[in-house]
Amino acid sequence: MVVVTGQSKVRANPDDAMSSSDAEDDFQEPATPTATQAGPALPLLPQQFPEVVPLNVGGMFFTTRLSTLRRYEDTMLAAMFSGRHYIPTDAEGRYFIDRDGTYFGDILNFLRSGDLPPRERVRSVYKEAQYYSIGPLLDNLEDIQPLKGEKVRQAFLGLMPYYKDHLERIIEIAKLRAMQRKARFAKLKVCVFKEEMPITPYECPHFNALRFERSESETKLFEHHCEVDVSFGPWEAVADVYDLLHCIVTDLAARGIAADHQCIGVCDKHLVNHYYCKRPIYEFKITWW
């Protein structure tokens, strides 16, 4: 005897059965319409700019002609105000550029009439010109001080093997020693020598003869490492030891690190015959606060 309850469901055909995945599909909520489903997106119209453009650059306000911003085609400003890109506006309708505006006036003055900034602002304006990709301004700034002198200085430092690595080593050693001693400053010894072997005019002819006659073991003696933390040299240029010391202090200062130095003597390691190293050794004092 077969009992059929009210909850039972008789299927007339096995092919009418639904799979579990089909059943789940029946209960899925409709997906949120996408742009494709809603229809093709309308193309953005080119942004229109007035002839006189009000600007808000990082909270500083400027006003200039549209033609000034488009003075040079291959710049970021020309691209921004070409109409191909959307520029947001502030509550007053000024076109907003999210950049510090301190030196934007110098940028505009160059675009207007080719004026260059005073010397004390050259480095900062150069960075802004790099950001806005203003090639003519970059070329002009590179030909005046202090950037002109910086190019010469970098050419000199290019002769110095591992200069940047040695500079980083000075910082790391000084930081480690200050932290170990819980001190406000740290001292380290730095050797700076221009020539392989500092010699007096009297010793020069003897040294030159020895240089060509010395054995392989003597050659290694002349190429020894002084007992210092960091050693710079040798190099071939008119610039001398004091010029390199100035570069080291300047580059440390650019990193926010105060450094003083003084000569504390020479390396007195005996090399060969009556020759000693005599490379100058400087004590650097790095102050951290």
**Domain boundaries, position 60:** 52-144
Whether 134 and 237 share a structural domain: no
The number of folded domains in the chain is 2
pLDDT score at 213:
54
pLDDT score at 215:
55
pLDDT score at 149:
93
Whether 102 and 127 share a structural domain: yes
Whether 56 and 109 share a structural domain: yes
Whether 163 and 282 share a structural domain: yes
Whether 164 and 281 share a structural domain: yes
- Per residue, what are the HEC states of the chain? CCCCCCCCCCCCCHHHCCCHHHHHHHCCCCCCCCHHHHCCCCCCCCCCCCCEEEEEECCEEEEEEHHHHCCCCCCHHHHHCCCCCCCCECCCCCEEECCCCCCHHHHHHHHHHCCCCCHHHHHHHHHHHHHCCCHHHHHHHHCCCCHHHHHHHHHHHCCCCCHHHHHHHHHHHHHHHHHHHCCCEEEEEEEECCCCCCCCCCCHHHHHHHHHHCCHHHHHHHCCCCCCCEEECCCCCCCCHHHHHHHHHHHHHHCCCEEEEEEEEECCCEEECCEECCCEEEEEEEECC
For residue 180, being part of any structural domain is answered with yes
pLDDT score at 62:
98
- The CATH number covering residue 139 comes to 3.30.710.10
pLDDT score at 269:
80
Low-confidence ranges of the chain (pLDDT < 50): 1-39, 41-43, 200-203, 207, 210, 212, 221
For residue 27, being part of any structural domain is answered with no
For residue 173, being part of any structural domain is answered with yes
What pTM value is reported for the model? 0.66
For residue 261, being part of any structural domain is answered with yes
